[in-house]
Amino acid sequence: MTHIAPLPLEAIADPEMLELITQAKALGVPDDLFPRLIARAPAQAKPIMRAMMMSFTQGHVDHRLKEIMRVLLARFAGDKYFAALRSRKAQDMGLTEQRINEGCYEYENDTKGFSEAEKCALQFADLMYLDASQIDKAFYNEMKKHWSEAQIMELGSFMVCHYGMQMFMRSMTGRA
């Protein structure tokens, strides 16, 4: 239950918002609760939904890696809503719950089989909102060994958008 009630779907008339809700429900992240809630502020709702969907499903970084990063951030944010959701696209690509947990808690363990590029990206997510002071020039130099500058910006922008809305949902629902 959220502190502010989501709008009923029937109360949303904007065709683009309805299409975004349909796309989100098909993906599984977010389900229709989040867009119906932010639809109370229609001027903000569509740009936020577009940015979330685009940053998560488009670009040049593996969607499964982004899904692990998204869950890691949601758990860190203490947001029980987004932490419970799973991308059907990532599941269809073979991402399992075990792999998500390994990515969140054991990515540095060499026996888990994450590539150096994946480890670096997961550390990027791990540190960003825990200790951003460690994301310094040396860290970005390490990132650049594995990722193009476009991919680094893609990952950063993806985290900004999703972590920001995870914190918003945490405020709407209370801690996990």
Partner 1 sequence: MLDEGIDSYAGSERYSEAEKIALRYSELMSTNPDAVDAAFFDELRKHYDEEEIVELGIFIGINLGFHTFFGSLKFYPLFSPDGRLLTQEQSEKLYGSAPVSLKKETAP
Q: Which two three-digit tokens encode residue 151?
A: 């991919």
Instruction: Please identify, using beta-carbon distances, which residue of 48 and 85 lies nearer to partner 1.
Output: 48
For 115, 122, 126, 170, the CA distances from 102, given in Å and listed in that order, are: 13, 11, 13, 24
Distances from the Cα of 108 to the Cαs of 97, 113, 114, 126, 156, in angstroms?
A: 18, 9, 8, 11, 20
In the complex, the smallest distance separating the C-beta of residue 150 from partner 1, rounded to whole angstroms, is: 14
Whole-number Å distance between alpha carbons of 168 and 90 = 24
Given the rule CB under 8 A, which residues bind partner 1?
3-4, 37-38, 40-41, 43-44, 48, 78, 128-129, 132, 135-137, 140, 156-157, 159-168, 170-172, 174-175
Minimum separation from the CB atom of position 101 to partner 1 (A): 24
CB closer to partner 1 out of 7 and 18: 7
Residue closer to partner 1 (CB basis): 39 or 90: 39
Nearer to partner 1, 114 or 163 (CB): 163
Question: What is the three-class DSSP state of 134?
Answer: helix
Q: How far is the CB of 123 from partner 1 (least distance, A)?
A: 13
- Of 90 and 165, the one with the shorter C-beta distance to partner 1 is 165
Asked if 84 and 33 touch (Cβ cutoff 8 Å), the reply is no
- Token output for 33: 């609760």
Q: In angstroms, what is the minimal distance from the CB of 156 to partner 1?
A: 5
Task: Find the shortest distance in angstroms from Cβ 165 to partner 1.
Answer: 6
Query: Is 41 in contact with 12 (CB distance < 8 Å)?
Result: no
